[in-house]
Structure 1
């Protein structure tokens, strides 16, 4: 019965996802770039580094950065040859992944950013100008993955960022929001080393890039969203206790994982340093 219930719910959600995403292709990739994202988290009273992995797709007209597990799920869901069993397997893996990088950052190359992110039981989106990142060129150079890289700095989100970018890869792309330079960002780190993005794989690709927005996404402003997101991540239970009952429209439990309003409700197992303020 449990297996049947999961499959029935999965097929209903898959059908809804197909309705939303059928016309959602926005570009095709030129490059697939996998970054290791290391952040400082508090565990058992001590600061410990924890790793996540991100996928940056660099298309002809659009770039898109997201958690690697979400990219894998999207890829299977959009592949015409994928079976329901393969989609269910990826969906199960996605649900069991408690430590997760929520924001999806998508933008026209050279244009402003649109960020899609989750807060508690809702999905939000906000726009942010590329001018929010005011880069200063440094003097240091280095070789990363066989590419000569140049140093640059910016102050963003409460951190002083140092990046190394590769002018030879002439796209203004990078992990998360760290973009807008005359070359791909290969490494980025906050001055206090609390957040580090490091390229571990760069490959040519022609895979599709898909629009993450759904009909239930709520438009908001960047500063308001980031403030509330940081409050939530410091104390998810207290944040949830303040929500009105009207905010919870639908609850589904699948193998111990909760979806509220169709959003996978996760609480990070660690308390981590804020990525932006």
Structure 2
């Protein structure tokens, strides 16, 4: 865990130099995120999410995606990545790669949420609503990382969520877009276990800026959209990936491909 904290601080420092500062982080949380990438086969993938919480703004993103951003900032990034690809061909160890592409900024702008996300060769930006989750808090409790946590449930964006929050950590925040409880969300999962977030580390920090991360793909500019339009494009991509590749690049990887049954349940289905 110590190595992860140290590496993360170096990565944040490397990508923050030329980016817009929004706030200073007071608290840093790390979540282990497991999701079913194929609901028919029951196979899963994982990610490590970082939640930086400042006095006014918070930012949640994938640690692995930040690694790729740090390579893009590095003048020798392409050389380093090519070396990792060579190692992959030799050893089978997969090179660094992006996982969750979404960066979520709560209370930015004030009272709302800004989200950046990507599909293929384009990154998008949109504004989302905040303080819009109707939680039902119960008396059930358990312990996570030596904190007594309390259970709450809600219906949010197409899933029924169970969350466990810590009243002793008085920040109304959590992984991804989850928020709105009287304490930090330390664990959250949907009824069908498509998505599961578990807090694995928490610490107070200083001199750690919260910045608006840039995009490094396509035109290096975010395309403005809205949440529903992005979700529609995302679903089209998941159902017809080769078709989307042809649309963006002109390359037809599989002329015989057709729309497939969606076996991955996104975090938002409505």
Shorter-chain-normalised TM-score: which range? 0.7 to 0.9
Deviation, structure 1 residue 84: 5.3
C-alpha separation in 1, matches of 2:185 and 2:69: 24
Q: Could you state the TM-score of these two structures normalised by the residue count of structure 1?
A: 0.73
- Pair 1:218-2:223 in alignment: yes
Q: How does 1:46-195 map to 2 (within 5 A)?
A: 46-72=41-67, 89=80, 96-98=95-97, 100-108=99-107, 111-195=111-195
Instruction: State the Cα deviation string for residues 130-159 of structure 1 (Å, max 9, x = none).
Output: 143221212211111111111111111210
Pick closer, same or farther for the CA change 1:175–1:87 going to 2, 3 Å.
farther
Q: How does 1:26-65 map to 2 (within 5 A)?
A: 26-42=22-38, 46-65=41-60
Residue segments in structure 1 that go unaligned for 5+ positions in a row:
1-16, 249-269
Pick closer, same or farther for the CA change 1:67–1:140 going to 2, 3 Å.
same
* Contact map agreement 2:107 2:130 (CA 8 A) in 1: no
Residue segments in structure 2 that go unaligned for 5+ positions in a row:
1-13, 86-93, 252-261
Pick closer, same or farther for the CA change 1:85–1:121 going to 2, 3 Å.
closer
Pick closer, same or farther for the CA change 1:31–1:21 going to 2, 3 Å.
same
C-alpha separation in 2, matches of 1:243 and 1:89: 27
- Pair 1:228-2:236 in alignment: no
Aligned partner of 2:257 in structure 1 is none
Q: Could you state the TM-score of these two structures normalised by the residue count of structure 2?
A: 0.74
C-alpha separation in 2, matches of 1:161 and 1:91: 41
